[in-house]
Amino acid sequence: MSGPQIHPSASVAASAKLGRGVTVGAFAVIGEEVELGEGCVVHPHAVIYGPSRFGVENVFHPFCVVGGDPQDYTFGGERTELIVGDKNIFREYVTVSRGTKKGGGITRLGNENFVLAYTHIGHDCQIGSNNLFVNAATLAGHVTVEDFATIGALSPVHQFCRVGRYSYIGACTVIVQDVPPFSRVVTERETKSFGPNSIGLERKGFSAERIKNLQRAFRLLSRSKLNTSQSLVEMRAQFSDSEDVRELVNFIETAERGIVK
């Protein structure tokens, strides 16, 4: 394995240590006291700050900021660290903060974590291995995530909470207590339809008659005592001349995951 390959436009601090086979893309920034193990890949525009240490074959995608200062009012520039194992993937716009003095001074990640775009891992978090952080998963400070857990998209985890091994947190679920290992935690879904998008349709040039037909069709679908199949029969009978309603009926009949009512 050859020595590191650094694009001429990249900024690499004098104190940074790059292992064999490390590649650093255009306009990437590697700060002071950053150590990258063999085979790490730093894509263009990625930013890595120190003090931080990384094992082998970690991948940093464009515009992630890994090892930045903790987002904490009490941080006053003290020396704190980020320590990361092997084969982790940090996708676009991921942020991972170093620790704070009051939290022990170290944020840790194990091996083979897949950290999807816009995820935030806060200061002093202790992350195990083989976890999946789906887009915009958000960990406050001092969170512990064990191994093989999944944290769904747009799910915030309150500070000091623990997420146990092999647990699954569904998308858009707010976590304010510990999640037991092997469990599945998903917020209750109450998404409802409130009829046609009348104002939007009017702005798009729909006539008053077209909108009225759709309003009546939606009332049959969601506000009558008919089930979906019965509603479709009535919609076909009552609005046989409406191309919009026919489109609506066809869409519902071909839905494979059900519809929002």
Give me the DSSP letters along 155-182. Answer: -EE-TT-EE-TT-EE-TT--B-S-B-TT
Known active-site residue 123: yes
> Which residue out of 124, 128, 142, 152 is catalytically annotated?
124
Which CATH number does 5-185 carry?
Answer: 2.160.10.10
At 188 the pLDDT is: 86
Catalytic residue among 37, 50, 141, 152: 141
Determine the pLDDT at residue 74: 92
Is 61 noted as a catalytic residue in this protein? no
Is there a catalytic annotation at residue 105? no
Give me the catalytic one of 123, 128, 142, 152: 123
List pLDDT tens digits, range 221-241: 988 889 999 999 999 999 999
- Residue 76 identity (one-letter amino acid): G
> Which residues, given as ranges, of the chain have pLDDT below 50?
none
Check if the beta carbon of residue 118 is closer than 8 Å to that of residue 136: yes
User: CATH code for 198-253?
Assistant: 1.20.1180.10
How high is the pLDDT of residue 55? 98
Which pLDDT value is given to residue 124? Answer: 98
- Whether residue 86 contacts residue 110, with contact meaning beta carbons closer than 8 Å, is answered with no
Residue 54 CA, chain-centre distance (Å), reads 22
pLDDT of residue 224: 84
pLDDT of residue 193: 87
Which residues, 6 or more positions from 74, have their beta carbon under 8 angstroms from its beta carbon? 100, 101, 102
Give residue limits of the domains in the chain.
5-185, 198-253
